[in-house]
Structure 1
Amino acid sequence: MAEWTPKLVVAAIDFGTTCTGYAYSLTENYKNRRLKIMNEQLWPGRSEIRGQAPTSILFKPDQTFHSFGFEAEKQYKHLALFKKEKEWFFFKHFKMILHHTENLTLETDLESANQRSMKAIVVFTAALKYVADHVYETIKRTHGYMDKSNIMWVLTVPAIWRDSAKMFMRKAAKEADIRGDQLLLAVEPEAAAIYCKELAIRIVDQHGRNFLKHFNPGEQYIVADLGGGTVDVTVHEVTIDGKLKELHAASGGPWGGTTVNNEFWKSIEDAVGTETFAEFRLEDQLGWIELDQEFEREKRSYGPKTEGTHTFRIPPFFINRSKLNRADIICKKHDNSDNSIAVMQDHFVIHATKMKEYFDTAIDKIKGHISKLLQKEELSKVSLIMLVGGFAESRVVQNKLRCCFEAKHVFVPPEASGSVLKGAVMFAHNPNIIAERISPWTYGVHTRKVFNKRVHDSGRKVTIGGKEYVNKAFDKYLEIGQSVVVGEDSPCHIYRLINSRDHLAFWKVYKSEKKDPLYCDDKGVDHIGDLVVKLPADKGERNWKLELRMTCRGTELEASVRATDTEYQFEEKTTLKFLRSDFDYELVPGDVFNE
């Protein structure tokens, strides 16, 4: 990650599954008014200043960028109306590929709405470049010309993402002309926690009295970031110096607002049949977009007291198909109960009770997850649950969670969807505001260790140079659940590198839910990346002594290596490589010996 250096402006981009937004503040203003953060947004294709733009992007047939956000959706609908969309590439809700893809690489493909493929890195890079350029032009228009080198960028990422997904976003940002030394990554719920800490929130006590509550030292609170794709939950305590201490590793799952949309589409698929639905998704892009937009509007307006029915115009595809086959639009019989989908005058009619069911899947997952957290002894003093993110603005979600957690204060800040952005700006102004984090995994590296018959399996014993070792031993640096002081190095581990090939020292990096894995190939131990150090090529074969330290600085793991022999020494910081396509060398485990 970038070393923090003061810049004239901090600009944050929240690249979400459903929507994308930005916020920024001048460093000079931030010194005196921390909450003075600009996040009014005027996006092309939208006449009024309002909230975020849809995370939709359109590419021409030659895979060059065409448009983003409102403009992309408008243009793609126009293409679909005249049946010209088949050679174009339109992507919507594409961020979730980074959450779902385990073996993410720069060659990973992304499927468009009309089932055509492009490289995911090309799509993300184009989107980030467009948004960053738009933000830059907004800053210049408002405050006058400013060189790009005077901007510190901060990009928000879900807390539950793999390290490979975070590295992927860094790669895309670099390709989008955002320099690595001008980029910070901010964990979304953590950013929201930073912003929420600065608020004076209105609380109603058990006697019905209103009062303002500030976050004092010792205060413990949960922040649940309910986004479009994912739900991220963090728990923090305010320290005596006003910083934040993480009490539990960030957690969550893919239970965001698009879960509701997916349930709606499942019910339509069930109604019309899988084969017909698949043909509709491919052949009637205009109908799909318009129905999706109609449902999104109804979803956002739906409340806990909403009664009656919701109507959606049936796409012409289904009407034409039913006439062609001389069959009903909905092949299955549906009664008039509240849980059915009816057809009336070319409209799908869905009862409010059915609409409620669409929300239940996501809400039940969120409730269950937070309930499990609150049962933990170390979180028994949590007094407040903050709901942020776009999905948190749903009145149904708010009502259900308040009813479920009556013993706690459930609070939704004004502009819940903007809390992450504002907190990300504050984090970039002062990354040291996070004092401690909890390690979500046990992290370690591969090495050869001296064989110990009381610990190691005899079947793993190898003899090298007259000494007995075990291969693929797990050398632990951080333990799951361990409190890690941000910026503090782990204890130094010392290794020997013998007969280095290609003048490279490397360690395979592993993670595990176990506290003390013995071997890197144990069940539940996963290879997540590599740590590589290039040794001086002009020094010939040497017996290097390597001192390795890891640290949590900001939101990412970093490492430093000091290499010495009898005549030479050097020290460097190195980046952990989490993307498989970064591995442009042959890894031969066992070159590194634990001393």
Structure 2
Amino acid sequence: MGRRNVPTTSKKGVIVIGIDFGTTFSGAAWATAEHLKQDRIQVITDWPGGGECAKTPTELFYNDNGKDIDWGYEIPAGKEPVRWFKLLLLRDQDIDKNERVILALRQARSIMQRDSKTAVDLVADYLRLLWEHTVSHIKKEHRESVVESMPFHVVITVPAIWKDYARDAMRKAATKAGILEDRVAGPTTLSFAPEPEAAALSTLCETDRNIKPHEVFVVCDAGGGTVDLISYQIDSVNPVIMHESAEGTGGLCGGIFIDEAYKDMFQHRLGDACSLSEKGINQMMKDWEREIKSDFGRGRANKRYFARLPFEDATKKFYMWDDTSEEPYIIQCSIQFKSDDIKQAFDQTVRDIGALVDEQVTKVKARGLSVAGIILVGGLGGSMYLHTYLKDRYKQENIDILRSTGNGPRTSICRGAVIKGFLDGGEGSARHDPTSGMNNAPVRVKSTISRANIGVKYREIFDEARHDPRDKIFDETEGVYRATDQMQWYLKRGEEVFAEDPIRHAFYRLYNNSFDGSFQDELYQCEDLEAPMRWSPNMTKLCNFSCKLNIPRSELEIVRNAKTLEEMKKVNFELELKPSGASSDFGVLINGQRQGGNSFSLQYQ
């Protein structure tokens, strides 16, 4: 499957590594500029203990000492691993109250309490093992001395519905995992990409898509935990340039809920008297993942699916045991499920996904556009049953349901993360120009849409026609009346922001001679459809940002206090924001100079 164009990039000496850290499975890919030019993004498929697989389970098992860790396919049969710990980076109010989620996270939290670990620690432990394996894989492709001489840029994908605090927690976990440790080649840089955007980058530029200018595609990233949807309208085809055409949506309704429904189903059939061991349950879930879940929807409607009872449990409890007293029958140590039985495990989750897709299609239509196709990506995106369900749902609207074959849906996100890394040129790092990788790239996102209002409290000149009298104060420093607690919104919900022209707003602060060269401010956000003019306690404090001047105090503008005539220093600065899913990328410029990581920092609430 070829691409429409080959990119040229200024990042010739860099290895870009894309990490798809998923709720249930994770993957990684990497490329040099030469790999990218030849359309040869390297996807890691040789995972420890797993043979040739596109992804490895996002699972950890801590041995008795709490230090020796097994992960992924290496976890011994019969051991109960820590699962779904990615969700622990979210605040309770942002986690679905589904009973299955609560039970799974309770087990993860018990491990945290036992070993005095935080959610960031669990994620860091997993990322460290995945990172070490990834780097080892790269060194098999290139001589170690060559790899050590090339800087790394890492792109970790995150759900588009994740807010800034969760992305910040992921950054801390990546740092703790050693991903950003100094190397001989120089600092490793890190950026993030929304999962559906990464998937769009890797799929929409494939030549067999046959896309046309002005068409709109909904990308549905159906993963293990979250389902994210983003819509893009095509501006040009060669190269593919697109812009976000509607505010994205998403929810916690991924494949884990199908898995848990199936587990409940076979455990209910066996009953308490014939309950399986933990090892047996794990084996049945592995068989489900490999043989039934991935195959469901491909065969005839009356097809039967055989769930073999694990050998160890079968020999102890079910040897030559048949039970045809009720359906599904148990014959020769296998539960014989009908298609309708398996359908019950899928149905609620698939209906939830259908509702999210409906919402996204409605948002596109509200902008006077029509959807040409829905592209399925992610682990669950490869499901033929989900594909058929959506195809039937949108048949009357002539909306095509598209997906790649083979491992395409499962690897689209980590492959897209690599493309994103080259496009952004190491976004978020003072070492790189954010537009350095864009020239002649085969695909890029021209603009995105903000999902929230983001701004700061400030005081502006009082205007009786606009301001509330309660906000009126006298500013003795400048000798004017001001309105306090006003909101300056950098981004407004639904606003289109261009990648090459992010939102900037200019402010200034006045300081006396005791000014030490650093200043702080607070950012607020709200999701109101209309951004309010005044601050209110209902707004969420997003983060504090602090900045230390990297220019001499002597170069600052001098002003005088209107009352005391005291000499003061005026700091002119611009805050820059660019939406990225439900999060935003931030930057500060002073006197037109971008502040690097050593002088600018964010502390999320």
Shift in alpha-carbon separation, 1:44–1:544, aligned structure 2, 3 A: same
Matches within 5 A, 1:410-559: 410-414=401-405, 415-431=408-424, 432=438, 433-465=444-476, 467-498=480-511, 504-514=518-528, 515-521=530-536, 523=538, 525-534=539-548, 542-552=568-578, 556-559=584-587
* Partner Cα separation in structure 2 for residue 536 and residue 187 of structure 1: 32
* Partner Cα separation in structure 2 for residue 492 and residue 100 of structure 1: 30
Matches within 5 A, 1:299-314: 299-303=293-297, 305=301, 307-308=303-304, 311=307, 313=309
* Partner Cα separation in structure 1 for residue 289 and residue 15 of structure 2: 35
Partner of 1:258: 256
Farther-moved stretch of structure 1 (290-299 vs 402-411): 290-299
> Are 2:568 and 1:572 equivalent residues in the alignment?
no
Is residue 13–residue 21 contact of structure 1 (8 Å, CA) maintained in 2? yes
Matches within 5 A, 1:9-158: 9-31=15-37, 33=38, 35-46=39-50, 48-72=51-75, 74=76, 77-78=77-78, 80=79, 90-99=81-90, 101=92, 112=107, 115-117=110-112, 118-145=117-144, 146-147=147-148, 149-158=150-159
**Secondary structure of the residue that 2:347 maps to in structure 1?**
helix
Partner of 1:358: 345
If asked which structure has higher relative contact order (CA below 8 Å, sep 6+), I would say 2
**Secondary structure of the residue that 2:257 maps to in structure 1?**
helix
Q: Which amino acid aligns with 2:417?
A: A
Which ranges in structure 1 are unaligned for 5 or more consecutive residues?
A: 202-212, 322-334, 564-568, 581-595
Is residue 494–residue 548 contact of structure 1 (8 Å, CA) maintained in 2? yes
Farther-moved stretch of structure 1 (190-199 vs 542-551): 542-551
* Partner Cα separation in structure 1 for residue 534 and residue 280 of structure 2: 54
Matches within 5 A, 1:171-182: 171-179=172-180, 181-182=188-189
Shift in alpha-carbon separation, 1:56–1:311, aligned structure 2, 3 A: same
Shift in alpha-carbon separation, 1:37–1:509, aligned structure 2, 3 A: same
- 1:225, CA displacement in angstroms? 0.9
* Partner Cα separation in structure 1 for residue 593 and residue 214 of structure 2: 43
Partner of 1:384: 373
**Secondary structure of the residue that 2:64 maps to in structure 1?**
coil
Partner of 1:190: 197
Q: Deviations over 1:224-270 (max 9, x none)?
A: 11111111111112324632211123321111111212334556788
* Partner Cα separation in structure 1 for residue 349 and residue 603 of structure 2: 30
- 1:490, CA displacement in angstroms? 2.5
* Partner Cα separation in structure 2 for residue 469 and residue 103 of structure 1: 38
Q: Which amino acid aligns with 2:545?
A: L
Shift in alpha-carbon separation, 1:348–1:380, aligned structure 2, 3 A: same
Shift in alpha-carbon separation, 1:27–1:299, aligned structure 2, 3 A: same
**Secondary structure of the residue that 1:222 maps to in structure 2?**
strand
**Secondary structure of the residue that 1:371 maps to in structure 2?**
helix
**Secondary structure of the residue that 2:74 maps to in structure 1?**
helix
Q: For the aligned residues, what is the CA RMSD?
A: 4.0
* Partner Cα separation in structure 2 for residue 4 and residue 97 of structure 1: 38
**Secondary structure of the residue that 1:152 maps to in structure 2?**
strand
**Secondary structure of the residue that 1:239 maps to in structure 2?**
strand
Q: Deviations over 1:34-70 (max 9, x none)?
A: x322225111113x32321111112233432422211
Is residue 452–residue 493 contact of structure 2 (8 Å, CA) maintained in 1? yes
**Secondary structure of the residue that 1:440 maps to in structure 2?**
coil
Is residue 487–residue 554 contact of structure 1 (8 Å, CA) maintained in 2? no
Shift in alpha-carbon separation, 1:49–1:288, aligned structure 2, 3 A: closer
User: Aligned residue pairs: how many?
Assistant: 523
Is residue 504–residue 577 contact of structure 2 (8 Å, CA) maintained in 1? no
Farther-moved stretch of structure 1 (551-560 vs 233-242): 551-560
* Partner Cα separation in structure 2 for residue 285 and residue 520 of structure 1: 53
Q: Which amino acid aligns with 2:575?
A: R
Q: Which amino acid aligns with 1:474?
A: M
**Secondary structure of the residue that 1:289 maps to in structure 2?**
helix
Shift in alpha-carbon separation, 1:5–1:519, aligned structure 2, 3 A: farther
Q: Which amino acid aligns with 1:15?
A: F
Partner of 1:210: none
**Secondary structure of the residue that 2:355 maps to in structure 1?**
helix
- With normalisation by structure 2, the TM-score equals 0.75
Partner of 1:230: 226
Q: Deviations over 1:324-359 (max 9, x none)?
A: xxxxxxxxxxx957xxx7888987775532321221
- 1:290, CA displacement in angstroms? 3.6
Q: Deviations over 1:268-300 (max 9, x none)?
A: 788899xx99xx99xx64354344434434323
In percent, how many aligned pairs have the same letter? 23
Is residue 304–residue 336 contact of structure 2 (8 Å, CA) maintained in 1? no
Partner of 1:169: 170
Is residue 245–residue 434 contact of structure 1 (8 Å, CA) maintained in 2? yes
Is residue 249–residue 360 contact of structure 2 (8 Å, CA) maintained in 1? no
Shift in alpha-carbon separation, 1:299–1:122, aligned structure 2, 3 A: same
**Secondary structure of the residue that 2:447 maps to in structure 1?**
strand
Q: Deviations over 1:76-126 (max 9, x none)?
A: x35x4xxxx7xxxx312221223454599xxxx975459322311111112
**Secondary structure of the residue that 2:503 maps to in structure 1?**
coil
- 1:71, CA displacement in angstroms? 0.5
Partner of 1:566: none
Q: Which amino acid aligns with 2:385?
A: V
Is residue 448–residue 579 contact of structure 2 (8 Å, CA) maintained in 1? no
Shift in alpha-carbon separation, 1:350–1:508, aligned structure 2, 3 A: farther
Q: Which amino acid aligns with 2:571?
A: K
Is residue 45–residue 71 contact of structure 1 (8 Å, CA) maintained in 2? yes
* Partner Cα separation in structure 2 for residue 443 and residue 421 of structure 1: 29
- With normalisation by structure 1, the TM-score equals 0.77
